[in-house]
Amino acid sequence: MILRGRTLDVGFAALAAAQLGAAALLVPTGGNETVGSLALPDGSPLSGLCLSRAVFHVDCPMCGMTRSFVAFAHGHLRAALDFHPAGPLLFIAMLVFLGAVVTVTVRRAQPLFERRNFRFAFETVVLVCLAMGIFKMVRS
């Protein structure tokens, strides 16, 4: 089965909304400018989720992205950049993407994933985030 543009738009928008919603719901622990770890809304601590770190004791290129998203969602820009320098960029890109999906869906315009310029921008954001993550991984 071949996925059509509108299906891809809505599917990726749902994933982005879930990620952004989780970042808003999770609670950063620590002071105003730092985020030590994450907790569920009821205060229960959230354990580490990175398989690479758990198995190989090595950060992956996306290590720190969840903490970066949570910090950014709660207004801690410095902590977000410390956890993953691409976190705020990806967070904002997801917000813009959600708005664009709503706009093209309501207007019944050409789906984003059928637009060459959108695919180029999407791939560029992904590559920049991966490059920043690899740089962060090598640096640590």
Residue 1 has pLDDT above 50, yes or no: no
Tokens of 134: 């690899």
Q: What is the pLDDT of residues 14-70, one digit of tens each?
A: 999 999 999 999 988 765 445 567 888 888 887 766 777 778 877 788 888 888 999
Q: Tell how many helices (H) and how many strands (E) occur in the chain.
A: 6, 3
What is residue 9's three-state secondary structure? helix
Rounded CA gap, 4 and 50, in Å? 32
Q: Tell me what percent of the residues of the chain surpass a pLDDT of 90.
A: 57
Q: Contact at 8 Å (CB) between 102 and 14?
A: no
CA distances from 123 to 15, 36, 62, 95, 131 (A): 17, 31, 16, 16, 12
